[in-house]
Structure 1
Amino acid sequence: MLKTKVFEMIKQAMRDKDQLTKSVLTIVKSNLDLAEKEKGEALTEAEEIAIINREMKQVNQSLDGAKQAGRDDLIEQEEAKLRLLEQFLPEQLSEEEVKEALAEAGVTSGMNMGDAMKIARPLLAGKADGKTIASVVKQLIR
């Protein structure tokens, strides 16, 4: 389970006195614990990946803000957080692989964007980020 791996990495970060890793992973573990408590049972792999993706989205937003503010120190820190979180995600598909998967799933020209995304999201959850999925869907439904 992902939670066990995160906990082991927190312990290692504490031994290494790596504050950044410890703080990021503590937040991830807290979110995993909270989601598990709310659900009342162990999380599925897809649910764990969704939590990691949510964290990555927040870090990306912080990164964008740091870039706009020209804060090089924060940019470096946020990029380090992204690299750390990416370790927990499965291999991300390329845009071409996403296109092939969606074409096989029946996303075709003339479809409504909402209907196409209803097919795409569950199919590619955790395998590609939302921006990539949306842009490929837009290309396919034209």
Structure 2
Amino acid sequence: MLKTTVFEQLKQAMREKDVLSKGVLTLLKSSLDLAEKEKGSALTKEEEIAIVNREIKQTNQALEGAEKAQREDLIAQEKAKLVLLRSFLPKQLSEEEVAALLTEAGVTKGMNMGDAMKIAKPLLAGKTDGGTMSKVVKSLI
């Protein structure tokens, strides 16, 4: 279970006095705990991955803001956070692999974007980010 892994890494970061990892892992653990509490039962693997993806998206937004402000210190910090958060995701598929899976699942030329995404989202949940998924779907339809 992802929550257990996060907790173990958090304890390790505390022992090593790794401030950045401790902060990121604490944030991730609290997000997982909150979602579990709201649901009232243990989270599924897909739900855990969705939470990690949400944290990655927020970190990407913070990274963009730091790049616009040209804050090198923040850019390095946000990139380090992204590396740590991505370590909790399963292996990410390349655009070619995504295209092959979608073609196999029935996404074809002339298809409505909404219908194509209804096929793509459950199929690719956690295996690729939303931007890549959308880009590949657009190229296929």
Q: What SS does the corresponding residue of 2:110 show, helix, strand or coil?
A: coil
Deviating above 6 A after TM superposition, structure 1's stretches of 4 or more consecutive aligned residues are none
Look up the equivalent residue of 1:67 and give its one-letter code: E
Report matched runs for 1:76-115 at 5 Å. Answer: 76-115=76-115
Partners of 2:34 and 2:70 in 1: CA distance: 34
Aligned to 1:40: 40
Query: Cα distance, 1:48 vs. partner?
Result: 0.2
The structural deviation recorded for 1:56 is 0.1
CA distance in 1, matches of 2:23, 2:74: 15
Give the equivalent residue in structure 1 for 2:132: 132
Give TM-score scaled by structure 2 length.
0.99
User: Matches of 1:12 and 1:2 in 2, distance apart?
Assistant: 15
Q: 1:49 offset after TM fit, Å?
A: 0.3
Gap regions ≥5 residues in structure 1: none
What's 1:3 paired with?
A: 3
* TM, length-normalised to structure 1: 0.98
Deviation, 1:10, is 0.6
Q: Secondary structure of 2:85's partner?
A: helix
Distance 2:52 2:122 in 1: 16
**Structure 2: where are the runs of 5+ without partners?**
none
CA apart distance, 1:46 = 0.5
CA RMSD, 1 decimal = 0.5
1:48-98 residue CA offsets vs partner (Å, 9 max, x unmatched): 000000000000000011111111100000000000001100000000000
Q: Does 1:22 align with 2:22?
A: yes
Structure 2 SS opposite 1:89: coil
Shift of 1:105: 0.5
C-alpha separation between the residues in 1 aligned to 2:38 and 2:70? 39
Distance 1:129 1:16 in 2: 31
Question: Hey, what's the Cα distance between the residues in 1 that align with 2:56 and 2:63?
Answer: 10
1:123 aligns with 2:123: yes
Question: Which residue in the other structure is 2:75 paired with?
Answer: 75
Cα distance, 1:120 vs. partner?
0.4
Aligned length: 141
Identity of aligned residues (%): 72
